[in-house]
Amino acid sequence: MDPSRIESAFPAPSYRGNQEDALGRIRAAFEDGNDVVLVRAPTGSGKSLLARAIAGCARQGSQASATDAIGAYYTTPQVSQLDDVASDPLLSDLSIIRGKSNYKCILSGETDTPVTQAPCAREREFDCQVKHRCPYFSDRSIAANQSIAAMTLAYFMQTAGSDVFGKRDVVVIDEAHGLGEWAEMYAAIDLAPDTVPVWDERPPPEIDGVETAAEYAAGLSRVCDRRLTDLRAQVELEPEEAAERDRLEELRSDLQWFQEAVRDPDSPTTWVVDQPDGEGSRTTIKPLNPERFLSHTVWDRGNKFALLSATILNKDAFCASAGLDPDRVALVDLEHTFPVENRPLVDVTQGKMTYEERETTIPKIAETLVSLMARHPGESGLVHCHSYAIQDALADELRAWGVGERVRTHDSEDRDGQLAAWKRSDEPTVFLSVKMEEALDLEGDLCRWQLLCKAPYPNTRDSRVARRLENGDWAWYYRSALRTVIQACGRIVRSPEDHGVTYLADSSLLDLFDRARVDMPAWFEAQVDRMARPTLSTPEPDPALAGLSDKRSRRSSGRSDASGSRRSSSRSSRRSRSGSNPVADVWDTE
């Protein structure tokens, strides 16, 4: 790596904000001999442009011996972030590769078939005459041979050990704040009828610990091997059989890794097992500290690393979660360049949103929302609901208030479509969202105000969370919630000239700010210190609907009987299916 090239590798014709200073400080951190540089860069810093400049410092082929790693990887956990890279003309020299399932076969009669189920994946020794034009293999070949290959973090991890995507000189990870937790989730092994093709042959017994889980994993692996042998003996597979084969191979690999880690007395990984419904039911095996997993899938993939995010809040804690030696890691902390008065926090708290108290608090939040709609009659708003259960209850309350026509919701199936439709709409509607605190760009008039319904603490019913708290790691607990809040605040103010108001509805958010203040970036602490409580108007439907076009119907004033509000059958069935899920509030299942 040659850090001296960082300025010349910056892709924009000029700098904005603190980008020039950032490049100089990143360069100095690498020149000081650090293997890993964490870049804490607030919203609007142009992290993708900084990432491109860092990647441009990678060793080039003309400078390398036959055994030297060359080139760079750019990777991010967020699919939307990769989409942004693909559409940015300043980043056109990043060669993007996506997972096979994102590509369609080009053979006649197969153009609706994903490449994962195309004839080349179904038929033994199939000789594809157009493989050189296959969109997947073409993109893969280009990315493998260009100096900067861009991909999602999931694809990056999946290609560990690949002959195509081997070790490179520099690895840049954007939106890297949750790397440790994300790796835990990615490395979890979910065993259920819908994830294990041979479930009926080997349902799990009652699992009372990690040793029992390892014994079951060994037996399940043998069943997977037998089924794989049968599938591989066939000359041609149906698309469903090809998908089954791929799932069995992935499952067997996961089970093998788990068994090896359990048997290894020197393994740093601690495992926990969830089986809430006992024998024969869904079982999830989770790594609590996946340092070994990250070592193989990330840290062995490059010589130098740059990790960028607005919310790497504590260097030592981040290094511990990701298996890094803090002495080999530097933190470059950038200032926020957006005026603090353009990104205010406003206290409209109405009580706690814990599971026990939310039934009382949600109607008060709905009243507050009606008043906020009147305060922002011509401006679109975003409500971070945290879970679908909260979204459903809040939507019912708003319909009962007679303001349902200004409200838009989504479910897990139509999430992206509803979001796109809301952003395209000329009406100042209010979008009740679930898990949209990250990777969402609502610049300018797309959204001028938002409300946080609930302090986004990790769910204590998740075994990983429970184990950490049993070990006394409350700092991690508060830091995780603070990180999500800061990410959410960045959704609606995207440039120095932009402005947007973030309202806080859950009184637990105020407690969070007190408990996590030691880990707050100075620029967010300034927002917290300026926080005030406004006087809101009395909630009335007509002022709340005043910004809608005249073509839209109006309901009568006053709050109707909540029992008359309608709930979609899809939401009701979704909630009934997931109501017993112990991690519902964490992974979007409620």
55-91 tens-digit pLDDT: 999 999 888 888 899 999 999 988 888 988 999 999 9
| Other C-beta atoms lying within 10 Å of the C-beta of residue 439 | 17
d(CA 67, CA 166): 12
Pull the structure tokens for residue 197.
């093709």
Q: Provide the pLDDT for residue 182.
A: 82
Q: Provide the pLDDT for residue 377.
A: 94
C-beta of residue 500 within 8 angstroms of C-beta of residue 449: yes
**Would you say residue 186 has pLDDT above 90?**
no
Pull the structure tokens for residue 438.
């990250």
**Would you say residue 176 has pLDDT above 70?**
yes
Q: Provide the pLDDT for residue 66.
A: 83
Q: Provide the pLDDT for residue 257.
A: 86
For range 237-246, the mean pLDDT:
90
Residue for token digits 């070949």? Answer: 141
For range 406-422, the mean pLDDT:
92
46: which residues sit within 8 A by CB, 6+ positions away?
Answer: 12, 16, 17, 19
pTM of the model: 0.85
Residue 588 pLDDT level (bands cut at 50, 70, 90): very low
Measuring CA to CA, how many Å separate 566 from each of 229, 365, 383? 52, 19, 20
Q: Provide the pLDDT for residue 587.
A: 34
Q: What is the pLDDT of residues 96-106, one digit of tens each?
A: 999 888 999 99
Q: What is the pLDDT of residues 282-306, one digit of tens each?
A: 999 998 877 778 988 999 999 999 9
For range 575-584, the mean pLDDT:
34
Could you tell me where the DSSP H helices lie in 264-345?
Answer: 291-297, 315-322
Average model confidence (pLDDT) for the chain?
Answer: 89
Measuring CA to CA, how many Å separate 325 from each of 35, 168, 329? 10, 21, 7
**Would you say residue 164 has pLDDT above 80?**
yes
More confident residue, 206 or 549: 206
Residue for token digits 């048997």? Answer: 263
C-beta of residue 476 within 8 angstroms of C-beta of residue 466: no
- At residue 302, the 3 state secondary structure works out as strand
Q: Provide the pLDDT for residue 454.
A: 95
What's the distance, CA 421 to chain centroid? 21
**Which of 313, 293, 374, 358 minimizes the C-alpha distance to 557?**
374
**Would you say residue 567 has pLDDT above 60?**
no
d(CA 128, CA 126): 6
More confident residue, 495 or 150: 150
Residue 550 pLDDT level (bands cut at 50, 70, 90): low
| Other C-beta atoms lying within 10 Å of the C-beta of residue 474 | 11
For range 446-457, the mean pLDDT:
96
Q: Provide the pLDDT for residue 281.
A: 93
For range 375-380, the mean pLDDT:
94
Query: Strand order in 271-274's β-sheet?
Result: 189-191, 283-287, 271-274
**Would you say residue 560 has pLDDT above 60?**
no
What is the amino acid identity at position 279? E
- At residue 346, the 3 state secondary structure works out as strand
189: which residues sit within 8 A by CB, 6+ positions away?
Answer: 217, 251, 254, 255, 258, 284, 285, 286
More confident residue, 133 or 557: 133
Lowest mean pLDDT of 73-87, 382-396, 497-511, name the range. Answer: 73-87
